[in-house]
Amino acid sequence: MSKYSKPRAGSLQVWPRVRANRPYARIRNWVKKEEVKILGFLGYKVGMTHAIVKDNTLNSITKGQIISVPITILECPPLGVLSLRFYKKSFDGLKIVSEVFSKNIDKEVKRRVLFNKKDNEIPKEFDDIRIVVYSKPKLACVKRKKPEIIELGVSGNDNNKKLELLKGFLDKDIKISDIFKTGQLLDIHGVTKGKGFQSPIKRFGVKRLSHKSKKKVRGIGTMGPWHPHKVRYSVPNTGKMGYHQRTEYNKLLLKLGDNLGDISKIGGFNKYGFVKNNYLLIKGSVVGTVKRAVILTEPIRAINKPESFEIISLNIDVKK
């Protein structure tokens, strides 16, 4: 006789359902690579459309055919450099031992944080070095005065080479073309749309009760057993939904472009406006709302054989 077993219903992958503390993500882990380079960038979500492409992916059922794929457009204005942070290993993790600030810092950064702009010396010994950058929303169609400030990791095994690389960026802006290239994979970190206060039907997908049920229809029939005398975490309940930090792995970068005439839509993109800086075309959807900042990083669990597409045309009203 076969053994009957049923796994628990529901996933605890993203438990608990905690709302994000800020509208852009926080990165806790960076990929380890031998190449010395900056591992991330920041962009703003413009909107979605679709592209007509030729599928060049090996072992694909549509190889060599002309197909349509959904794409997301991200605008990536240059990032300003705030400082270089030097870390030293301790018994409870990395600790900041010194921080060297840039000499060319925008006045908008003071809206975000108060910092001591003193020229700290570069320490003789350090175990890790990272770069702190800030966005420039005034260069895009994002009506925001306060910039986003994030810390980016740097790959490489030699700290001296990493320091030489970051010194070159200390007093100038960083462009998206300095970090990423067309055809590579990216991890996209962002914050999802906020749905507000919702019922368990929308939050958990439970069924509606019978029309003869007492008091409610769009709810649950029981809150659980009498003993233990508490409501368990696994019981579907009402509450706030959305606005969670999420990471999408291995998103394909179809194109990194700087020719604004290719995506100049008549009247601008809905709820966004016109693209004024370098842009990215990402295959598929991207987490978050329009004008929300997303962080792009090198893939931490990259696949060996990514997809390959050749863009033929975009579904955009191009100005003549």
Residues 120-154 have pLDDT tens digits of: 788 889 999 999 999 999 999 998 889 999 999 99
Question: Token match 């591992």: residue?
Answer: 39
Q: Where are the domains of the chain?
A: 37-193+242-314
pLDDT at 10 exceeding the cut of 70:
no
Give the angle subtended at the CA of 48 by the CAs of 43 and 54, to the nearest 5°: 105
pLDDT, residue 118, reads 64
pLDDT at 71 exceeding the cut of 90:
yes
Instruction: Place 316 in a pLDDT band, splitting at 50, 70 and 90.
Output: confident
As a whole number of angstroms, the distance between CA 166 and CA 156 comes to 12
Q: Which CATH architecture has domain 37-193+242-314?
A: Beta Barrel (2.40)
285 is written with which tokens? 């959807």
As a whole number of angstroms, the distance between CA 91 and CA 224 comes to 44
Least confident of 62-71, 89-98, 129-138, 276-285: 89-98
Q: Name the more confident of 98 and 115.
A: 98
Residue 189 · residue 27 · CB < 8 Å: yes
Phi, psi of 221 (to 5 degrees): -80, -30
Closest CA to 299 of 30, 93, 77: 30
CA–centroid distance for 40 within its chain: 10
Mind listing the pLDDT tens digit for each residue in 33-65? 999 999 999 999 999 999 999 999 999 999 999
Mean pLDDT over the full length of the chain? 91
Instruction: Place 29 in a pLDDT band, splitting at 50, 70 and 90.
Output: very high
For residue 168, give the H/E element and its range: helix 159-169
Rounded to a whole number of angstroms, the CA Rg of the chain reads 24
